[in-house]
Amino acid sequence: MRMFERHSVRKQKDIGGTWQLQCLDSKGDVTGTYSVVVPSCFESIRGLEKYRGKGKYIKNINVNGGNIRLVFKGVSHTADIYLDGKHIAHHYNAYTPFDVVVTNIDEGEHTLEVIADSSFSQASALHFANDYRTFGGIIRPVEIEEIAEAYIKYIHITPTKNENGWRADIEAVIENISAEGGEFSVEFVLPNSKVRECKLDFENNNATVRTSEMFEDVNEWSPENPALYIVKAKLKKDNKVIDDLYERFGFREIKIDGDKILLNGKPIYIKGYNRHEQYANLGSAVPENIMSFDLDLVQDSGANLVRTSHYPNDERFLDMCDERGILVWEESHSRQIHVPRMKNPNFKKQIEDCIEEMIVNHYNHPSIIMWGIMNEGESNSEFGRECYIHQFEQIKRLDKSRPTTTASNRHFKDLCYDLPDIISLNIYPLWYYNEEPYDYLARIRDYVNENGGKGKPVIISEFGAGGIYGYRDFNNLKWSEPHQVDVIERIVNELYKFDDLSGLILWQFADCRLDDEFEPLSRPKCQNNKGVLDIYRRPKMAYFAISKLFGKKGNYRD
């Protein structure tokens, strides 16, 4: 379920494989029954290619009795979980994990039911008809764990560099589900064979322990040398190990120094792709080998970053980025959320839950170098500004170790350039508007400098053009591959003339399917065709062009 081992004591297994799926109408009546594999999307099942609504997944599971923890890595987009007919959990948002603990369950067979709902309504402030499809179903793995009377919920590791070497601040949160008494402690086995034991004091059945350690001779994590280390935590009760959790991290530090982004003290230059988590007819249930192939294509083209546009990604993909030294801009789930949607009574809780779950679950990935919010949200309104302030404050409460950003397309009207640590601009000259790239960006940057953004790092977070795979001719018309190459080449060569940019991120890595209802007249094939690869990862001419362009530029600002 992850790319590294997480336990030796706690028993954990993947309960994917074959499930029964019943499609349900608005009254809850069954309209169709299918035998499906989990994880998968409704839309990858023959006959459900355009399905939007509810599906009930059913599986009988055998348990040994005692306490179990069910972990859902992604259910799209709203989940209701039932065990033996009893409702035990509810979750909104396809792209963040959630879990539920069931205590004192009898040994034997139990019926697990997961109702996934992909319908759009006022109940859903983040999932709506958009320029990427909200697929339906159990799109990521499901795990069952056997846990003791207490267990380790998570461990966060924060590395910082100082004159004596590296320091790691370690925090672990433990839940005592039985509320039983006893002498509890956590033993940390750290890099360089350091061992630390911390006593626990539970308050309301939860306890947090912290320890800090200095490490003199360790390898830093970097794109060139993505060195990774494991922290092993053992939870003891009356000196007997009852649970454990392994976490992986890297000694790397991200800081802002004036208009530069420093990775371990060196200014970096970002050459990246915006990537939707989608593959052909598998939709957003992307298998590991496709994730790995995508990262081959990222690295082979000379890129050094992936932006998880526009939602938290699968942790297995982030694990692979950690291992390969690929930088990540991860962002909470939002694309073009305008004020009416921000005024949806569900918006505040839904976006804050997403930010919290993203950061709590993805905190230790060294590849993640910044957190993004509100892609092309209404940052040119006072109401929007209040929402941005609130979300940036929430991020800083959860993680002080990473800079923040937000991709703006409000250019000369934006009221929020003073809020993020890094200024990010989505620009589409030569595609959506006939502007000369250099002059257009220079004018936006003048406005940014006069309106709160002066002296901050600047990234071009989106630019690009559409190209239909296989459409080539001599007249270089829009939507042809040669035209796509021409626009990308002109923009990148102009952006390279700015010696104070911190990088650029191409829109987009691969074509992706949209919600059928989204602007069909401007999106041939109901796809966003600005990928340099098609939905099957077949390269367009633009993939070879961007590879040459990325190859021209180093990874570090001079």
Task: Please give the residue ranges that form the binding site for ligand ADA (CB under 6 A).
Answer: 131, 309, 335, 375-376, 409, 426, 462, 507, 528, 530
Closer CB to ligand ADA, 39 or 372, in the complex: 372
- Pinpoint the alpha helices (H) of 363-476: 382-398, 437-450
Closer CB to ligand ADA, 433 or 474, in the complex: 433
C-beta of 532: minimal distance to ligand ADA in Å? 13
Report, in angstroms and rounded to the nearest whole number, the Rg of the chain calculated over CA atoms: 24
C-beta of 429: minimal distance to ligand ADA in Å? 13
Measured in whole angstroms, how far is the alpha carbon of residue 345 from the centre of its chain?
A: 24
The H or E element containing residue 113 is: strand 108-117
How do beta strands 327-331 and 254-257 pair?
unpaired
Closer CB to ligand ADA, 134 or 426, in the complex: 426
Taking alpha carbons only, the member of 296, 293, 268, 261 closest to residue 279 is: 293
C-beta of 279: minimal distance to ligand ADA in Å? 18
Closer CB to ligand ADA, 117 or 331, in the complex: 331
C-beta of 496: minimal distance to ligand ADA in Å? 21
Closer CB to ligand ADA, 309 or 404, in the complex: 309
- 459 and 501 Cβ atoms separated by less than 8 Å: yes
Query: And the tokens for 128?
Result: 């709506």
Q: In what order do the strands lie in the sheet with 260-263?
A: 254-257, 260-263, 266-267
Closer CB to ligand ADA, 57 or 311, in the complex: 311
Closer CB to ligand ADA, 453 or 466, in the complex: 466
Within 200-269, strands assigned E span 206-215, 229-237, 240-249, 254-257, 260-263, 266-267
Closer CB to ligand ADA, 208 or 380, in the complex: 380
Closer CB to ligand ADA, 95 or 229, in the complex: 95
Which residues have C-beta within 8 Å of that of residue 296, sequence separation ≥ 6?
A: none
C-beta of 42: minimal distance to ligand ADA in Å? 23
Write down how long the chain is: 558
C-beta of 329: minimal distance to ligand ADA in Å? 13
Query: And the tokens for 438?
Result: 């250099």
Taking alpha carbons only, the member of 438, 437, 407 closest to residue 423 is: 407
What's the one-letter identity of residue 368? I
Separation in Å, CA 245 to CA 153, 232, 299, 471: 9, 6, 31, 51
Which residues have C-beta within 8 Å of that of residue 522, sequence separation ≥ 6?
A: none
The H or E element containing residue 298 is: helix 288-300
Q: Which residue is nearest to ligand ADA (CB)?
A: 131
Please report, to the nearest 10 degrees, the dihedral formed by the alpha carbons of residues 156, 161, 166, 168 taken in order. -20
Closer CB to ligand ADA, 42 or 311, in the complex: 311
Q: How far apart are CA 207 and CA 31, in angstroms?
A: 47
C-beta of 83: minimal distance to ligand ADA in Å? 38
Sign of torsion, CA 212 214 218 221?
positive
